[in-house]
Amino acid sequence: MTAPAVIAGLDQHPTSHPRLLAWVRQIAELTTPDSIVWCDGSEDEWTRLTAELVTAGSLVRLDPVKRPNSFWARTDPSDVARVEERTFICSVDEADCGPTNNWMAPSEMKQLMTELYRGCMRGRTMYVIPFCMGPLDAENPMFGVEITDSAYVVASMRIMTRMGTNVLEAMGETADFVPALHSVGAPLEPGQADVPWPCSTTKYISHFPETREIWSFGSGYGGNSLLGKKCYSLRIASVMGRDEGWLAEHMLILKLTNPAGKVHYIAAAFPSACGKTNLAMLEPTIPGWKVETLGDDIAWMRFGDDGRLYAVNPEYGLFGVAPGTDWKTNPNAMRTLAAGNSLFTNVARTDDNDIWWEGMGEPPAHLTDWHGDDWTPDSDQVSSHPNSRFCAPITQCPILAPEYDDPRGVPISAILFGGRRKTTIPLVSQSRDWVHGVFQGATLSSETTAAAVGQVGVVRRDPMAMLPFIGYHAGDYFRHWIAMGKGVDGNADKLPSIFYVNWFRRGDDGRFLWPGFGENSRVLKWVVERLEGEGGAIETPVGFVPRAQDLDLTGLDVPTADIELALEVRPDEWTAEIPQITEWFDKFGDKLPAVLWSELDALKARLNVT
Ligand code: SAT
Ligand code: MN
């Protein structure tokens, strides 16, 4: 028997929360770190950790004038995105996991991962991060505590969440919290030198919905390691929402003000890397309209006393796809980043210690690429990984709506579902009613992107843009959405109207039919006009679709023929879609709400498909 390891700090702790202390002790004894640090979220802590990461070669400090207090990170080339194959929903009953998730019995997963965790923090520091998703002054603050052996994760969590001493104090001795355990899975033997990006080839991202626990092992990449984000705020929170009557969704939240000063709040779901951050910070090209940002990735929506659906952004930072972001496509993101205090991961670095990525204007003559190699414009590879990311405080966004921190959230007028489709899906359509909107969401499809490991550009169904994030059976999730449509106390008419958008439709030669970005304000204007009973539309088999003349196209330099193609509902394309939807629905067996089969039948009837 070896003597039990001495773990510095095991008996010093800034809380007396018994469950938290017992859990931290248990994990420390299992993972045997050299020491434990309770994170306080202070500026000093950030300065200390980033300095340590610079010394270790994990971060490079960027130019203090151009990029104040900002750092450049490169991951291991194998650890660049979410790993959906290695992501598990460990419900007690396999039937609660469903066909869209990977399942393992909780006891089996815990046994397996306990062996992986045994001694996995050897030679490292274990950090304890108390955090809160959503405002700390909420009626029921949504606490979590992440244990991690990665200082990069601590620095990122400080940007992405409300964390530190305030949170621990607010938790007192009794608050419930989601325990979220993370290790890069790379213990160090005495004297062994560390690598800049430790990780393991064995990866598990596991969720235990009944006990509201998260266990992540082997990856340092954002979606796998910043456990407040997808793991808590979507997978675990979706289960909480199912049980408690609310929705945890993969949606941005924006505030739209029309020239008369009337405000509408809009939530919009798109798969990862389909422009949520750009839409959330859009600069309208039509005069007099204003967009302000509340969130770019996640919305928690609960009914208010008035029967309306109110949305809160549980996050505190932006974790956006870097390539393609520039002064033309998203000036507000560029301004957010120019304020500093940001982490950049897997982008390229310029010789004067700034960052660069594809889409950011002319490339410099020389760069250090995301592999750490020399790069010139003649290179046949991209300089930045397609899923490279910026991580920046949301409070630096110059168009942040003041309500972003209101624990009551904002009342949502419209929900947009969107995907990336070259064909079939018109630029915008409005659902006939809530159930039809749920059908649009449940059958949402999109071409895959680099945000997850795997082939890019393949069309897959991505219901409500939540495919990788639903923490339970997708059939039950659809049922929950249908049930939400009943509203509270007979207030179903106060629910948001649902729209389906596609900015990515292409012409025969592959050109985009719609210019997107700031021009999407024209679609938002039509959405608002529809809400106010004004906008023109024709009724098509797939919902209400504007004609070109129903959109404000003033000053838009796009041939009307292209707009018409973007708006076209082609019976041949939709007829081809029907068997795919049928096959998709068949997956869910008895769990698929019958009303969704009825919606499909009604669509077939409208298309004259038998
Ligand atoms: O990498 S994350 O999962 O955090 C971002 C995304 O894919 O939406
Ligand atoms: Mn996302």
Average pLDDT over residues 33-60: 98
Q: Which ligand is nearest to the CA of 297?
A: 2
Partners of 89 in beta bridges? 207
Question: For position 492, what pLDDT does the model report?
Answer: 80
Contact at 8 Å (CB) between 503 and 427?
yes
Query: Given CA atoms 387, 390, 395, 399 in this order, what sign does their dihedral have?
Result: negative
CA dihedral of residues 186, 190, 193, 197 (deg, nearest 10): 20
* Secondary-structure breakdown of the chain: helix, strand, coil percentages, each rounded to the nearest 5: 30, 20, 45
Query: How does pLDDT run across 67-85, given as a tens digit for each residue?
Result: 999 999 999 999 999 999 9
Quickly state the pLDDT bin for 242 (edges 50, 70, 90). Answer: very high
User: Radius of gyration (Cα) for the chain, nearest Å?
Assistant: 24
- Of the candidates 140, 72, 105, which has an alpha carbon nearest to the alpha carbon of residue 367? 72
Query: How does pLDDT run across 501-515, given as a tens digit for each residue?
Result: 999 999 999 999 999
List Cα–Cα distances, 199 to 49, 78, 121, 379, 450, in angstroms.
18, 9, 12, 28, 20
Cα(420)–Cα(349) distance, rounded to whole angstroms?
30
DSSP reduced 3-state for 293: strand
Average pLDDT, the chain: 97
Strand order in the sheet with 348-350: 355-356, 348-350, 367-368, 374-375
Phi, psi of 464 (to 5 degrees): 50, 25
Which residue puts its alpha carbon closest to atom 2 of ligand 1?
223
Question: For position 1, what pLDDT does the model report?
Answer: 42
Quickly state the pLDDT bin for 491 (edges 50, 70, 90). Answer: confident
Given 39, 90, 132, 274, which residue is catalytic? 274
First-to-final CA distance of the chain: 72
Spell out the SS3 assignment of 239-291: HHHHHHCCEEECEEEEEEECCCCCEEEEEEECCCCCCHHHHHCCCCCCCCCEE
Residue 3: is its pLDDT beyond 90? no
Max distance between CA atoms of the chain, in angstroms, equals: 80
Q: Which ligand is nearest to the CA of 387?
A: 1
Q: Would the CB of 230 count as within 6 Å of ligand 1?
A: yes
Predicted TM-score (pTM) above 0.90: yes
Which residue puts its alpha carbon closest to atom 4 of ligand 1?
223
Query: How does pLDDT run across 410-426, given as a tens digit for each residue?
Result: 999 999 999 999 999 99
Question: For position 489, what pLDDT does the model report?
Answer: 78
| Residue 274 annotated in active site | yes
Quickly state the pLDDT bin for 488 (edges 50, 70, 90). Answer: confident
Query: How does pLDDT run across 293-351, given as a tens digit for each residue?
Result: 999 999 999 999 999 999 999 999 999 999 999 999 999 999 999 999 999 999 999 99
Question: For position 493, what pLDDT does the model report?
Answer: 86
Residue 2: is its pLDDT beyond 70? no
Rounded distance from Cα 157 to ligand 1 centre (Å): 14
Give the H/E segment covering residue 391: strand 389-393
Question: For position 474, what pLDDT does the model report?
Answer: 98
What count of residues does the chain have?
A: 610
Average pLDDT over residues 170-175: 98
- Of the candidates 231, 242, 228, 176, which has an alpha carbon nearest to the alpha carbon of residue 206? 231
List Cα–Cα distances, 480 to 98, 245, 473, 476, in angstroms.
14, 8, 11, 6
The percent of residues in the chain predicted with pLDDT above 90, rounded, is 97
Cα(323)–Cα(326) distance, rounded to whole angstroms?
8
Cα(497)–Cα(416) distance, rounded to whole angstroms?
9
Q: Would the CB of 33 count as within 6 Å of ligand 1?
A: no
User: Of the ranges 144-148, 283-287, 389-393, 448-452, which one carries the lowest mean pLDDT score?
Assistant: 448-452
Q: Would the CB of 355 count as within 6 Å of ligand 1?
A: no
ipTM: 0.97
Q: Which ligand is nearest to the CA of 299?
A: 2
Question: For position 4, what pLDDT does the model report?
Answer: 58
Q: Would the CB of 236 count as within 6 Å of ligand 1?
A: no
Residue 5: is its pLDDT beyond 80? no
DSSP letter at 86? G
Atom of ligand 1 nearest to the CA of 271: 8
The percent of residues in the chain predicted with pLDDT above 70, rounded, is 99
Query: How does pLDDT run across 372-388, given as a tens digit for each residue?
Result: 999 999 999 999 999 99
Q: Would the CB of 228 count as within 6 Å of ligand 1?
A: no
Average pLDDT over residues 518-525: 98
180: region left, alpha or beta (phi > 0 left; psi from -120 to 50 alpha) = beta
Angle at 395 between CA 389 and CA 397, to 5 degrees: 65
Contact at 8 Å (CB) between 344 and 51?
no
Q: Would the CB of 272 count as within 6 Å of ligand 1?
A: yes
